[in-house]
Amino acid sequence: MIEVDIIISNGLVLTIDENETVIENGAIAIDGENIIAVGKSEEIKARYISRKSIDATNHMIMPGLINSHTHAAMTCFRGIADDIELMDWLNDYIFPAEAKNVNVELAFWGSLLACAEMIKSGTTTFCDMYIFEDETAKAAKEAGMRCLLGEVLFDFPSPNFKTPAEGLEYTRMLIEKWADDPLVNIMVEPHSLYTCSSSLLIDAKSLADQYKVPIATHFLENKGEAKQLRKKLGKRATNFLKDINYLDERFFAFHCVCMDEEDIKIFADSGCKVVHNPESNMKLASGVAPISSMLDHGIVVGLGTDGCASNNNLDMLQEMDTAAKLEKVERLDPTVMSAHTVTHMATCNGARVLGMENLAGSLKAGMKADIIAIDLNKPHLTPMYNSYSHLVYAVNGSDVTTVIINGKIVMKDRRLLTINEAEVMKRVKEIALGIKKSLGIG
């Protein structure tokens, strides 16, 4: 008998491995940070003995979800302005609110609240772009979440830096500071082609190349941006990115609503990846990204919630449901974007987008133990015919009961073990009072 730290047993295991193995009455042995074995409960229990055991009877066990694009600290602005024009939303609410209120305190507590919300809805890894990302890194570290973070870079001053050069230096500091962390990973994140000069974009890419870290940006989010870029750049935005050497396997782009077939071919040929944000694209009336075509061309697509000011939650299970349904109605074809495809976007393909395919996104020996358990013994989950369709079309974030990240149990029976939930809510409520006062609302 081999001794391990944790055995989870008696669950329906969706491995999301190469063979789509689904194991009834399955178990997982975990030691340290790693998955040691996945198999039938009886086999695992015959070979391993554990210090802790988790009974997953009536539960689905699967890889933790990967939120491939968010702005975590924007939980503080959740629902601050809805149902209004995008430019009014940005200029009258979001930008003034950020300019007046974003500081290290907001960044830390907003990010920690986001971690609480993400863990409670089954997310174990997130990719973040915002201001004062060192605070987000500290929050993720405290919460025990895996992440890939980048300071948002643009031409104008941010609450964290006066010049783009300072923003790049801050990013370099983050890369070096967190280089050996088991959970926190750093990347380079220029905000967009319409807020960054060519020289900033080129410098950002150099930095990413120097440290061999990923680089990503908002890209072709809506028609207005597409039109503006055409005029500003004098060429197809995708070709502009190609000309400044962005398009390689370490580059990915958020939203990509207005990509056409030519853009998609260029991305596919370059090995670039895409993050789909259907709920944000719907709520801001940006449009529907051509995801089926991207998938047909072999582009790896992940899924993200975007920030809380444009969603207004971080629930990946709801995002998965919406992603599937939106694509079907947009293409008028119920067979596109199957539950299976969407599940991959939120797990193994999200991991590929973030360059974490050897760490997370599927359950097999040698991977990090990022695992969630979902309680199936509920009226809205009864009966069950197909585990994938159940996951996408019926399961909610609140059905997740237990979450393990990097071998550590961070939620058990819906109780957070790494975050003081009451404290973080209290702090963010206080911050929100200040935001209201600064904007003269509420």
**Which range in 190-198, 199-207, 235-243, 323-331 contacts its own copies by CB under 8 A?**
323-331
Decide whether 265 or 436 has the Cβ nearer to its own copies.
436
Six-digit token pair at 343?
Answer: 């599940």
Under rule CB under 8 A, residue 379 binds its own copies: yes
Six-digit token pair at 32?
Answer: 């340290």
Under rule CB under 8 A, residue 441 binds its own copies: yes
Under rule CB under 8 A, residue 303 binds its own copies: no
Q: How far is CA 49 from the centre of its chain?
A: 34
> For 55-179, where are the alpha helices, taking DSSP H only?
86-88, 95-101, 104-120, 133-143, 164-177
Given 4, 73, 80, 272, the residue binding its own copies (CB under 8 A): 80
Decide whether 205 or 390 has the Cβ nearer to its own copies.
390
E strand or H helix that includes residue 227: helix 223-233
Q: How far is CA 360 from the centre of its chain?
A: 13
Q: Which residues 132-191 are close enough to bind its own copies by CB under 8 A? A: none
Q: Please report where in the chains the tokens 């990097």 appear, as a residue.
A: 406
Report residue 379: phi and psi, to 5°. -55, -45
Decide whether 242 or 390 has the Cβ nearer to its own copies.
390
Given 202, 396, 408, 412, the residue binding its own copies (CB under 8 A): 396
- 146-153 and 22-31 strand pairing: unpaired
**In degrees to the nearest 10, what's the CA dihedral of 406, 407, 409, 414?**
60
Under rule CB under 8 A, residue 431 binds its own copies: yes
Q: Which residues 221-240 are close enough to bind its own copies by CB under 8 A? A: 223
Q: Please, what is the minimum distance in Å from the beta carbon of residue 433 to its own copies?
A: 8
Q: How far is CA 13 from the centre of its chain?
A: 22
Given 334, 365, 420, 423, the residue binding its own copies (CB under 8 A): 334
Q: Which residues 336-355 are close enough to bind its own copies by CB under 8 A? A: 337-340
Please work out the total of residues on this chain that contact its own copies, with binding judged by CB under 8 A: 76
Q: Please, what is the minimum distance in Å from the beta carbon of residue 388 to its own copies?
A: 9
- Packing angle between helix 104-120 and helix 133-143, nearest 10 degrees? 40
Contact flags string 266-295 toward its own copies, x per CB under 8 A: -------------x-xxxxxxxx-------
User: One-letter amino acid identity for 387?
Assistant: S
Six-digit token pair at 129?
Answer: 């772009």
Under rule CB under 8 A, residue 84 binds its own copies: yes
Under rule CB under 8 A, residue 90 binds its own copies: no
